[in-house]
A and B are shown apart, each in its own frame.
Chain A
């Protein structure tokens, strides 16, 4: 039994060490994703408490968080130097895509917000 917890602790520690090696830019993106998802969770919890009226507002709020999180994940994939697939894509280009997509997403979200 003690070995199990020990193993878990060892696992977590090794993950932490590996994560510390990731570049800062990627860490920023990860933090952004965590932030977006946390906001979404808070909104869902609120809806669970007070009911889904008005439903469109709830949807737009949650989807904006989820959408931006998804775009951030895409950005991370594209910017990651270890990713062989996107070797030739300049990170600035990826970032420009990220900004553009976010702007379009937020336009739609604002329209749907009501």
Chain B
């Protein structure tokens, strides 16, 4: 009797531990995706998005998301594509071109489908690699979907050809000669096999399809798992240039498996949990950054949306922060991956867990009510009496229709993180200054709801006490993430203190005697600032509660200096104060009259000289009388006068070089003339002496 119970408990524990971990936030595809798609896929002027493959990917994404494809640009695309179809191209190009024609709904009158069909059929027969088969079969299927008659000649043989490339571990090779196999190739092969079955109809042996089903099961054994139940495929042991990455591999396998499930009469043996895990993987990417990733994500989700195995349903919360003060309701949406309508469901909140994984015992399992108008399941939180904090909510979704339960994959337990915020009351806030012997205390009540500031004074022998209590809306004592008291001096030197908690109270005691050194012996006015903050606290406090005049002793010589305060960047790099130049004070000059007086006084000796000359009896008797010597004499005196005039000009305005040049000329002239004059005078006086 006990054994099955123990086993049941064990299983529960294992399941519980496997699933009890925080889940990433998953939202279904929404308008954000649509606008991102239009931004990411930007067509060139002629309507193409690059190569034919890229154009196909862009248009397919637009088609799935419902983005408008009717613009005039795409008419040009239709034309290019139809040209491609008539000219000889590769099978891959044919495939993409046909797909584009189908998506855009291009006019097909001008397209020669018979020729294309025969080309593709030849390609199928002559195909040597998996990709060739895939493209040609896909092309034929598209032509058939256009309404044309397509016959696959050797369906069995083609099926065999594709199957021959499979490996025992569920993966596929690309062609007969390559040795490496990959899961990506498996996805392509499955899609190709599905195309064969759709084209051939009932010609394929059902046993062969059963074998492929087994292959798919083996393939799914290779699936990888994240803690929160997300599943994906990745490759190991592949060539670096063959490696496609988890997104591409998972996308390829998803398309392949869903395509095969659609053509297989029996249901595939893959649990709904695996489909949901894959859906979660694609959704958890969010909005991809590249066009290729976007296509992979959207294409895979489109194949999952309407697949025949089971349709994944996603639970999401439009708001994960709920306010107790505003009496927010807990709202939950359950939709398909594209946000469309889910069938009738029952959503229940099983458990509420605190961050350290303890259950909130006061909570019992509750079923959420359904609002059909907004298609939302909701629950009122106020009667639940849950306090503020961060919680992990565990939901369970079950489809009401028991037959439909098989069709949809809802997952077992869905874990979502939510915050409940509320208004935190501050009680019994007090600030007091007491003497060191705790004899007397001057207590002041703080009312943090008002803007009042208190003003205290203390000296270094006293103590400051600050205490307060924090209470949640439900009356429990609250421990915030952050509580800091800051004392800031007038000179902007700051000191931070953290109050201690004891039972229900937060208390900070500052013994100034021990803090004198820490405060750098700075006396003066200190502003007291209180900061209390928490993620779930709606009324976080950051304010100045007053000031305290501190009287500290003088700093001894060896005391540490307060740290340099950061300079206001504007003052350092901003405009500096204007410099007013202090010019050299001009020398004291004597008054003008004195200078002029002395100038006159200097002339006096000259006058005295001239008068003296006259008194002595100067005469011009020696001046030569005959013509030529006379002219020379005159020129001599004139030359000397000219030189003196040159000197005056030099002082007044000429520069040395001009003066020297002129002096050179005058000097030569003067020498010549002087020589003549003086030699004449010398000869005259010699004659006189002789005579």
Q: B-contacting residues of A (Cβ < 8 Å)?
A: 24, 27-28, 31-32, 34-35, 38-39, 42-43, 46, 49-51, 53, 90-93, 95-96, 99, 103, 106-107, 110-111, 113
Chain B residue at minimal CB-CB distance from A40:
B605
Inter-chain contacts of A92 with B (CB < 8 A)? 678-679, 681-682, 685
Known: A99-B674, A106-B647. A50 touches B609 (CB 8 A): no
Please pick, from A31, A93, A96, A99, the residue contacting B612 in the complex, using a CB distance under 8 A.
Answer: A31
Known: A24-B617, A107-B647. A42 touches B678 (CB 8 A): no
7 closest A-B pairs (Cβ-Cβ)?
A: A50-B590, A35-B609, A92-B678, A38-B605, A92-B682, A53-B587, A46-B598
Known: A35-B608, A110-B647. A24 touches B602 (CB 8 A): no
Inter-chain contacts of B668 with A (CB < 8 A)? none
How distant is B65 from chain A, measured CB to nearest CB, in Å?
92
The reply to whether the CB of B606 lies closer than 8 angstroms to some CB of chain A is yes
Inter-chain contacts of B589 with A (CB < 8 A)? 50, 53
18 A-B contacts (beta carbon < 8 Å)? A24-B616, A28-B616, A28-B618, A31-B613, A32-B609, A39-B602, A42-B598, A42-B601, A42-B602, A46-B601, A51-B590, A53-B587, A91-B685, A96-B678, A103-B667, A106-B644, A110-B650, A113-B651
Interface string of B575-614 (1 = CB under 8 A from A): 0000000000001111000110010011011101100110
The reply to whether the CB of B64 lies closer than 8 angstroms to some CB of chain A is no
Inter-chain contacts of A90 with B (CB < 8 A)? 682
The reply to whether the CB of B379 lies closer than 8 angstroms to some CB of chain A is no
Interface of B is mostly: helix
Contact across chains for A50 and B644 when beta carbons are under 8 A apart? no
- Chain B residues 667 to 691 lying within 8 A of chain A, measured CB to CB, are 667, 674-675, 678-679, 681-682, 685
Inter-chain contacts of A24 with B (CB < 8 A)? 616-618
Inter-chain contacts of B618 with A (CB < 8 A)? 24, 28
Please pick, from A35, A51, A96, the residue contacting B606 in the complex, using a CB distance under 8 A.
Answer: A35
Contact across chains for A95 and B594 when beta carbons are under 8 A apart? no
CA distance A10 to B401 in the complex (A): 163
Inter-chain contacts of A110 with B (CB < 8 A)? 647, 650-651
Chain B residue at minimal CB-CB distance from A113:
B651
Residue in B589, B605, B613, B663 whose Cβ sees the most chain A Cβ within 10 Å: B605
Residue in A32, A49, A90, A95 whose Cβ sees the most chain B Cβ within 10 Å: A90
CA distance A33 to B490 in the complex (A): 81
The reply to whether the CB of B509 lies closer than 8 angstroms to some CB of chain A is no
Known: A42-B598, A110-B647, A113-B651. A51 touches B682 (CB 8 A): no
Given contacts A24-B616, A91-B685, 11 further A-B pairs with CB under 8 A are: A28-B613, A31-B612, A34-B609, A42-B601, A43-B602, A50-B595, A95-B678, A96-B675, A99-B640, A99-B674, A103-B640
**What is the total of A-B residue contacts with beta carbons within 8 Å?**
73
Contact across chains for B605 and A49 when beta carbons are under 8 A apart? no
Contact across chains for A107 and B663 when beta carbons are under 8 A apart? yes
How distant is B617 from chain A, measured CB to nearest CB, in Å?
6
Inter-chain contacts of B651 with A (CB < 8 A)? 110, 113
Chain B residue at minimal CB-CB distance from A36:
B605
Please pick, from B588, B616, B685, the residue contacting A31 in the complex, using a CB distance under 8 A.
Answer: B616
Inter-chain contacts of B104 with A (CB < 8 A)? none
The reply to whether the CB of B285 lies closer than 8 angstroms to some CB of chain A is no
CA distance A43 to B587 in the complex (A): 19
Inter-chain contacts of B643 with A (CB < 8 A)? 103
Known: A38-B605, A42-B602, A107-B663. A49 touches B590 (CB 8 A): yes
CA distance A66 to B640 in the complex (A): 20
Contact across chains for A27 and B682 when beta carbons are under 8 A apart? no
Inter-chain contacts of B164 with A (CB < 8 A)? none
Chain B residue at minimal CB-CB distance from A90:
B682
Contact across chains for B617 and A31 when beta carbons are under 8 A apart? no
Inter-chain contacts of B594 with A (CB < 8 A)? 49-50
CA distance A43 to B604 in the complex (A): 12
- Chain B residues 598 to 657 lying within 8 A of chain A, measured CB to CB, are 598, 601-602, 604-606, 608-609, 612-613, 616-618, 640, 643-644, 647, 650-651, 656
CA distance A93 to B675 in the complex (A): 9
CA distance A93 to B674 in the complex (A): 10
Chain B residue at minimal CB-CB distance from A92:
B678
Inter-chain contacts of A49 with B (CB < 8 A)? 590, 594
CA distance A90 to B650 in the complex (A): 34
Please pick, from A27, A42, A53, A96, the residue contacting B674 in the complex, using a CB distance under 8 A.
Answer: A96
Chain B residue at minimal CB-CB distance from A41:
B605
Inter-chain contacts of A43 with B (CB < 8 A)? 602
How distant is B77 from chain A, measured CB to nearest CB, in Å?
91
CA distance A53 to B589 in the complex (A): 8
Inter-chain contacts of B682 with A (CB < 8 A)? 90, 92-93
CA distance A43 to B613 in the complex (A): 23
Inter-chain contacts of A106 with B (CB < 8 A)? 644, 647
Contact across chains for A35 and B650 when beta carbons are under 8 A apart? no
CA distance A24 to B440 in the complex (A): 118
How distant is A89 from chain B, measured CB to nearest CB, in Å?
11
CA distance A32 to B618 in the complex (A): 13
CA distance A53 to B588 in the complex (A): 9
CA distance A42 to B604 in the complex (A): 10
Inter-chain contacts of B588 with A (CB < 8 A)? 51, 53
Known: A27-B616, A96-B674. A38 touches B590 (CB 8 A): no
CA distance A103 to B643 in the complex (A): 8
Chain A residue at minimal CB-CB distance from B675:
A96
Inter-chain contacts of B617 with A (CB < 8 A)? 24
Inter-chain contacts of A93 with B (CB < 8 A)? 678, 682
CA distance A93 to B594 in the complex (A): 43
How distant is A2 from chain B, measured CB to nearest CB, in Å?
33
Chain A residue at minimal CB-CB distance from B656:
A111
CA distance A46 to B597 in the complex (A): 10
Chain A residue at minimal CB-CB distance from B659:
A107
CA distance A99 to B636 in the complex (A): 11
How distant is A66 from chain B, measured CB to nearest CB, in Å?
14
CA distance A49 to B594 in the complex (A): 10
Known: A92-B681, A99-B640. A111 touches B650 (CB 8 A): yes
How distant is A78 from chain B, measured CB to nearest CB, in Å?
14
Please pick, from A27, A28, A39, A99, the residue contacting B605 in the complex, using a CB distance under 8 A.
Answer: A39
Chain A residue at minimal CB-CB distance from B587:
A53
Inter-chain contacts of B601 with A (CB < 8 A)? 42, 46
How distant is B116 from chain A, measured CB to nearest CB, in Å?
106
How distant is B118 from chain A, measured CB to nearest CB, in Å?
112
How distant is A108 from chain B, measured CB to nearest CB, in Å?
10
Inter-chain contacts of A99 with B (CB < 8 A)? 640, 674
Inter-chain contacts of A27 with B (CB < 8 A)? 616
Inter-chain contacts of A51 with B (CB < 8 A)? 588, 590
CA distance A107 to B674 in the complex (A): 19
CA distance A50 to B598 in the complex (A): 11
Inter-chain contacts of A95 with B (CB < 8 A)? 678
Chain B residue at minimal CB-CB distance from A106:
B647
Inter-chain contacts of B679 with A (CB < 8 A)? 92
Inter-chain contacts of B604 with A (CB < 8 A)? 42
